[in-house]
Chains A and B, each alone.
Chain A
Amino acid sequence: MGSWLARHLHALVSSTGNLARAPLATALTVAVMALALALPQSLLTLVRNTTSATGNLSGTITLTAYLKPEVGEQKADQLARSTRARSGVARVELITATQAMTEFRRNSGLGAALDVLPENPLPHVLIVTPVPSASDRASVENLRTALAAWPEIELVQLDSDWINRITAILSVLHAVLWMITALLAAAVIAVVGNTVRLEIQARRTEIEVTKLVGGTNAFVRRPFLYTGLLYGLMAGALAWLIVAAAILSLRSAVRELAQAYGSQFVLAGPGLHELGWLAAAGALLGWLGAWLAASGHLARIDRNN
């Protein structure tokens, strides 16, 4: 056990030494890997922020309940009051047929043409705004069903098309994000693999002799795996810094944008959780790239056996 640990430490130290011996090449490799890791993490951060931003805006979801034509104004007022009393409802606005017609007359520009109508064809309308905590899809749907069940109500319309559209866009973005992540993960593996391959070339004799004296493939591979692991850890940490810097530089612009829309939304940067995530992903991909490169080389040596 003691010597097992010693050998791993030895491999780790010698890998670290190898990286330090060529600082420029190491830095370039790490930078390329970091960019490949930072890109999906940035996109993910943006998608997350957008999701939470639309979550904030969901307070503006409204339901429009159209009353049946025969329902009178007094009854409409009564319905508005009982709707207001429901839990999960923040605000109810009654727009009477008369108000609606007045507004329509003003906005449509049809003016006198509407006087031709024998009577006001518009129904009374209730505009219902749920509280934010009851603004999720399921709660809103429940409210809609409850209102629609009332005999006085003709139709309940959900005015959340634009939210649905953003949600749809976000889910497409999510899928795209995963594709980009997979491609860039492959790129990270390729970059590490190539770097490790160069190092293997430089240490060809050492590998050959090690195998001649009875070193196993696992033993030969070990220092290269550590090299890949170290590259990945460094790239993960650097990627986190890149994302944090990007978010920081966008933050004031986004705050202004949000304020223009009357929102207190603040762009959230990557946290410690993301640092751990990026480092782990980098280490795993680095290890994998190194493993592939080393195993490929060893397989070529072992072809005779």
Chain B
Amino acid sequence: MISFDRVVKRYPNGREALAGVTLEIAAGEMVVLTGRSGAGKSTLLKLIALLERPTRGRAIVNGVNLSDLPAKRIPAFRRGVGMVFQDHKLLPNNDVFDNVALPLVVTDTSLREIDKRVRAALDQVGLLGKERQLPEELSVGEQQRVGIARAIVGRPPLLIADEPTGNLDPELAVEMMTLFRRLNSVGVTVLLATHDLHLVRESGLREVVLEGGTVHDHTVGALPTIKGVR
């Protein structure tokens, strides 16, 4: 699903956020990307979403080489990658239904199909019945779940989430992890970035640690190896 080979990302200001990342994530896996702030987690996810292009190396996602995909084909590529953001990026003036429907509205989906799939997605995140509420009328946890519903409504094979629990208290964070695991159990490949190591501890999930711009360690369900992170 994701195959990185010595991928380098250097920003125009000269900052090298990724200094040769090699990483394989198979279809159906769930992986947690950790590392201290500034380690390059967001950069790696941005490459996967084609919000940035790799500077060097070979990066393949969903069978697509990220280095040479023509700009014209980026929208179609992105529809195959569900994205969840820390600040959820919901449209404040659109209600829950319209927010979740957006990925379908931008394609040739019929209104009837949109209605069906938005309800199914809201059901999966436990928000059925809140269609006509505005984001500001929801709790933080609910807002984040609307963001997840929007990410999965197009049934992408890959779901990436950048600090999805960053704004949530520990209890909600655990709930959110459970939700991601449930989505993963129905076949969606999931890649989460977080600097919150408590989330990963004892989760039994595969952990990929970024440090100094490279993948420092692969551990499966082991304790974190980075010092200096709370």
Task: Spell out A's residues near B (CB within 8 Å).
Answer: 2-4, 6-7, 205-206, 208-217, 219, 302, 304-305
Contacts and interface: CB of A to CB of B under 8 A. Distances in A.
Given A304-B51, A305-B53, A212 B108 contact: no
A238 B134 CA distance: 39
B51 A3 contact: no
Given A214-B79, A215-B75, A302-B71, 15 more contacts: A3-B110, A6-B111, A7-B105, A209-B89, A210-B102, A212-B78, A213-B83, A213-B102, A213-B103, A214-B75, A214-B106, A214-B107, A214-B154, A217-B75, A304-B51
A2 B111 CA distance: 10
Interface string B156-195: 0000000000000000000000000000000000000000
Contacts of A7: 105
B26 interface: no
Contacts of A219: 106
A212 B49 contact: yes
Contacts of B109: 3
B51 to A, nearest CB: 7
B89 A212 contact: yes
Nearest to A2: B110
Nearest to A4: B108
A299 to B, nearest CB: 10
Interface of A is mostly: helix
B43 to A, nearest CB: 12
Contact of B108 (A3, A209, A210, A215): A3
A4 B103 CA distance: 15
Nearest to A215: B106
20 contacts: A6-B111, A7-B105, A210-B106, A212-B51, A212-B83, A213-B103, A213-B150, A213-B154, A214-B75, A214-B76, A214-B79, A214-B103, A215-B102, A216-B75, A216-B106, A302-B71, A304-B53, A305-B53, A305-B71, A305-B74
Contacts of A4: 108
Contacts of A305: 50, 53, 71, 74
A206 B89 CA distance: 9
A2 B154 CA distance: 20
Nearest first, the 7 A-B pairs at minimum CB distance are: A214-B79, A215-B106, A214-B78, A213-B103, A216-B75, A305-B71, A214-B75
